[in-house]
Chains A and B, each alone.
Chain A
Amino acid sequence: MSSQKKVGLFVTCLVDMFRPSVATSAIRLLKKCGFAVVVSPRQTCCGQVAFNNGDRDTARNIARELLYEFHDCDYIVAPSASCAGMVVKNYGELFPHPDRAGHLFGHNLYHFDKNEDLPHRADGFRAKFYELSDFLYHVVNFQPSNIAPYVGDRKISYHDSCSSLRDTKTFIAARGLLARAGVAAANLADAEACCGFGGSFTTDFPNISASITDKKCDDILSTAPDILLSADLGCLLHLVGRLSRRGAAVEAFHLIEFLDEQAHSQFLLPLGKELNNAAQKTPAAQQPAK
């Protein structure tokens, strides 16, 4: 690549809080692919929490901020199909072109400043926005070095998030990346079924949620994995939380962490594990990009 293209990394709120190593891994991988990586300290979240709970105005405010924050990037990527789905599928609805505006019981839901030309901005933003594994697989044609030796005979299972199956339809990219890395990942039995997380659904209806999750946990455990991977941190937090409550130990990693850490033979503790003292080893290259 002659002139470096600029990739904006959207750090999801869950990654920021729970698993910063996903972001650092993403940065390392993207840099390795020759991109200049930028993160925006002004970004908050993708707005999905507000949008899915009916607070359209808040969702739109958050979204609007992002449109400006990343506007000079060639691409924007998120290590989550859930957030990518929110952007790609729903930002168009948050900023519709005038002919598409609608009503809800007489409420005009689509009032925003017409002078900013947000609909066109949103279109451009959406067109540049990718789920990270999809970006690596399809856009960059990324070839992970063979990581199978590091995996050895440890069994790996992969969980497809609903967003990756249906919103972004990027589920194939994760498989492709793993295959290129020489890793054979087991598919779950009812792979198209939801894990039961559903954002605030799990706190609104904890019992229903757990009941749905148990089916997924059974499917996971029946593949007897040593490592569970997914490209969505939300599902993983939820699944690991339930598995742990059930007394089942499965090492879970975000796909991006796995590709990065294993390929560079770095050491990272699985989700929900922490060493007793401050002795936790952290990856060397945890230098965030400028």
Chain B
Amino acid sequence: MSVENFSAAADKAIKNDGLQQRLAHITHEFINKRQAAVNAVPDWEAWRVAGKNIKQHAIEHLDIYLEEFEKNLTNAGGELHYCQTGEEAADKILRICQQHKAQLVVKSKSMVAEEINLNQHFAKNNIKLVETDLGDYIVQLRGDEPAHPIAPALHVGKAMVAETFRQEHKNLPRNRPLESIGDLMAEARGILRKDFLTADVGITGANFLVAESGSVVLVTNEGNGDLVSTLPPVHIVVTTIDKIVPTLYDASHLLRLLCRSATGQPITSYASFFTGNNQTQDGDGAIAFHVLLLNNNRTQLLADDLRPALSCIKCGACLNHCPVYQTVGGASYGGAQMGPIGSAIAPAISGIKRANDLVFASTLCGRCDDVCPVKIPISHLLRRQREWSFLQKTIAPQKQRWLKYFRRASQSPKKFRHASHAVRRMLRFYNRHGMIKNIGLFPPARPWFAKKNLPSPAKKSFFDKVK
């Protein structure tokens, strides 16, 4: 699936009743938990402002902090790799694994790995890569796309998980119960534990990169992140340049915002700080520690009006509150960039032409703006992308024509009244006692009638009467 098939994928998702139920349930859970967590904070708004300022400052001084991070990371025995494109990053990771003669690689939670199609790349090159976050593991076994950055398998019900395990786990006794969540977790843990212990390389994402210490911060709730990063001899962190923050203090404030916004927790079960390899100071960590920083056109966002998009801390709150996401689910977006903020970033990563549908797939209701913990004006960014789309003429031809008519009609009040009069007369032709049920072939307004009627325009418009 890819970003340009949004509409078709969305239509499919809408018809999937099971998915609809689970989406409604899970997003509501997330919304309620977040609200409770936010209510418990004396001044959430002040926290948001502070969070916004931290991110904004970091993004505006990206060059300085990236250099500082690199220096401190290298001093702690880590190695930094910059990658411009997704292919470059996937290849780099593969090569590090090959250098260490890796046969089994374990991985925990990384949307960036999704973005660069890491799993497919490894499969092509015959290195076994196992997801260890339970949700990601289920998604991987089923060959699906993740449905949510935090709850990737939200589209899969318990019974479906059991079915998948029975199909894929070769030595699973037939009579082993797989009814409860506990059963399923125990089953997955049994399989994954062996992988943790025998893996040659562990791959994780990162939530923050701390410039002043060269540390990588990762939050998880299952503990798999710690196992992936500490048991194998090699730890590779794959993340993006916008994760940088100046100080540990900054990181801890953003953690407060992140956890509450994502899951409603004051802090996640695990918040891990990795600093370099085991050769320095405290002597713990992996033998080899690599950090990959992916750009993938993010610096394009840096250079213009879209800059706030880089402040995103990937909490998922905007997705949970988005009426469109709630309806179509994450897989419909066709990539790692999903939900409102994903739609605002996707054009930079996939090109405006391919991501055109996404930037228009919003009612601009603004609920995302209100819940974003770092105050990103997401709907504003979507409008900016629409402007870009308009200038590049990547809008669907029919809509372009329609906008041209509007442009012309709006040039003078007289033309505007004429146009509005014509539309009103056309619509009234189909009027039945005040309601219009369909309008034959009249093109621009036709989609309105696919799923709903339209109260009829008035016999005389207001300005007809004033005249």
Contact = CB atoms under 8 A, between A and B. Distances in A.
Contact of B455 (A55, A198, A240): A240
A23 B462 contact: yes
A2 B446 CA distance: 52
Nearest to A288: B466
A67 to B, nearest CB: 15
Nearest to B332: A208
Nearest to B359: A54
Interface of B: 7, 10-11, 14, 20, 24, 300, 303-306, 323-324, 326-328, 360-367, 369-370, 383-384, 386-391, 395, 399, 403, 406-407, 410-411, 413, 416, 420, 423-424, 431, 433-435, 437, 444-448, 450-458, 460-463, 465-467
B367 A166 contact: yes
A244 B403 contact: no
Contacts of B390: 53-56
A276 to B, nearest CB: 7
B261 to A, nearest CB: 16
B10 A208 contact: yes
A186 interface: no
Contact of A13 (B304, B420, B453, B466): B420
A60 to B, nearest CB: 11
A196 B387 CA distance: 22
B327 A107 contact: no
A192 B326 CA distance: 14
13 contacts: A20-B462, A39-B466, A45-B410, A162-B365, A166-B370, A194-B365, A197-B363, A204-B399, A210-B451, A211-B327, A241-B452, A244-B435, A269-B434
Interface in A114-167: 162-163, 165-167
A125 B446 CA distance: 36
A207 B411 CA distance: 33
A111 B434 CA distance: 44
Contacts of B463: 11, 16, 41
Nearest to A47: B410
B389 to A, nearest CB: 6
A49 interface: yes
Interface stretch (A97-105, A172-180, A223-231, A256-264): A97-105
A141 to B, nearest CB: 27
A104 B305 contact: yes
Q: Which of B323, B437, B461, B466 has the most CB of A within 10 A?
A: B323
A53 B399 contact: yes
Nearest to B460: A20
Given A55-B403, A198-B364, A274 B434 contact: yes
Given A41-B463, A162-B363, A167-B366, A58 B406 contact: yes
Given A166-B370, A206-B450, A245-B437, 9 more contacts: A17-B423, A18-B457, A50-B403, A53-B360, A54-B386, A198-B362, A242-B453, A273-B435, A288-B466
Given A15-B462, A52-B386, A58 B323 contact: no
A28 to B, nearest CB: 13
B367 A194 contact: yes
Given A51-B383, A201-B363, A206 B447 contact: yes
Contacts of A187: none
A182 interface: no
B362 A201 contact: yes
Interface of A: 11, 13, 15-21, 23-24, 39, 41-45, 47, 49-56, 58, 61-62, 102-107, 109, 162-163, 165-167, 192-194, 196-213, 215, 237-238, 240-242, 244-245, 269, 271-276, 286, 288
A206 B364 contact: no
A206 B407 CA distance: 24
B329 to A, nearest CB: 11
Given A11-B463, A50-B406, A212-B327, A271 B455 contact: yes
Given A50-B403, A203-B444, A17 B457 contact: yes
A148 B7 CA distance: 47
A194 B360 CA distance: 16
Contact of B410 (A20, A44, A215): A44
Contacts of B24: 215
B284 to A, nearest CB: 46
Contact of B14 (A105, A166, A193, A208): A208
A238 B451 CA distance: 10
Contacts of A11: 462-463
B450 A210 contact: yes
Q: Which of A13, A16, A109, A212 has the most CB of B within 10 A?
A: A16
A149 to B, nearest CB: 27
Nearest to A276: B433
Given A50-B403, A244-B435, A205 B10 contact: yes
Nearest to A237: B455
A10 B328 CA distance: 37
Nearest to B326: A212
Q: Which of B361, B362, B455, B462 has the most CB of A within 10 A?
A: B462
A50 B450 contact: no
A207 B462 contact: no
B453 A272 contact: yes
Contacts of B395: 53-54
B465 A288 contact: yes
A274 B431 contact: yes
Contacts of B360: 53, 200-201, 204-205
